[in-house]
Amino acid sequence: MGEKLKSRKFWITFGTGVLLLFAQQLGLDIAPETVWGIVAMVTGYNAGQGYVDGQRARAKSIVVNNGYSADRHVDPIKVVPPKGGDAVQKPGVAG
């Protein structure tokens, strides 16, 4: 649960939900089209961030499964699995 409270996706969704729930009490006159636009933006952000997080986790598992040292810094986004081979690190990546 503590990990969820550190999530930007969680706080953006939570804050947007609270704002939209209490908009009328706060005196905000938000049109229904605007509400749907805000919901669509937050949904798009969460979907995009979820995709990026999934790719980062996938790349990290490739790094771990191919014997890179856990002590060595490897940016999982810069690790690319070649066609039909093990993951290789691109030149110029700190290590």
pLDDT in tens, 24-71: 888 888 899 999 999 999 999 999 999 998 888 887 777 666 655 544
pLDDT of residue 95: 46
Tell me, yes or no, whether 51 lies in a domain. yes
pLDDT tens figures, 73-91: 556 556 556 566 555 555 5
State the residue range of the domain holding 17. Answer: 4-89
Q: Please report the DSSP string for 41-60 in residue order.
A: HHHHHHHHHHHHHHHHHHHH
State residue 64's pLDDT score: 65
Kindly report, residue by residue over 61-75, the tens digit of the pLDDT. 776 666 555 445 556
The reply to whether 94 falls in a domain is: no
In a domain, 82, yes or no: yes
Q: Provide the domain count of the chain.
A: 1
Under a CB-based contact definition with an 8 Å cutoff, are residues 94 and 75 in contact? yes
